[in-house]
A and B are shown apart, each in its own frame.
Chain A
């Protein structure tokens, strides 16, 4: 399927919808526990990464947490 990932075209070797958690694996996103995902403009709860699915034509954005401390 063809997607837009972080503003750029991306293709993955899956025709059927895949869970967001699987998409992050397919995209080889490291340290996925620190990633925030936006799917078609909606920020997902972390608990929805297995339930929310990505289908052909979807727009996915992901970012790492940006934080720190003394």
Chain B
């Protein structure tokens, strides 16, 4: 389970919609299983079907989270035209330990779907989202 404030989940979905048709990405911070902050990131690939975060932004966000007593809890990205499930490349590049992966699908543009997963060693497990 991961708890996400409704305002933050709405902001993540809004980020995905405003970035369409490109993939967007970002980081959610917090503690334990509770998300507390939202950090939209630059997709340096600027692509419809790939994302890569800017390392400079990654370091800045991780340091800011640390300074505020938070941890990186969730890495999110959008799938503009495919379902909310990790692709083979998402699984292969899920390298950061102990984080959740949130995917927003805009396959149905007017009905965004957000799902969260744990990905460890190539094994994908769905995680319940509790919207608080």
Contacts and interface: CB of A to CB of B under 8 A. Distances in A.
A19 to B, nearest CB: 20
B45 A63 contact: no
Nearest to B41: A66
Interface in A24-70: 31, 34, 36, 38, 43, 61, 63-70
A50 B61 CA distance: 27
Given A66-B25, A68-B89, A43 B59 contact: yes
Interface residues of B, number: 32
A66 B59 CA distance: 11
Given A69-B50, A69-B51, A64 B95 contact: yes
- A contact face: mostly helix, strand, loop, or mixed: strand
B85 to A, nearest CB: 11
Q: What interface size band does chain A fall in? A: 10 to 19
25 contacts: A6-B62, A7-B63, A31-B95, A34-B93, A63-B55, A64-B95, A64-B96, A65-B52, A65-B93, A66-B25, A66-B93, A66-B95, A67-B45, A67-B51, A68-B77, A68-B86, A68-B87, A68-B89, A68-B90, A69-B47, A69-B49, A69-B50, A70-B48, A70-B49, A70-B50
Interface of A: 6-7, 31, 34, 36, 38, 43, 61, 63-70
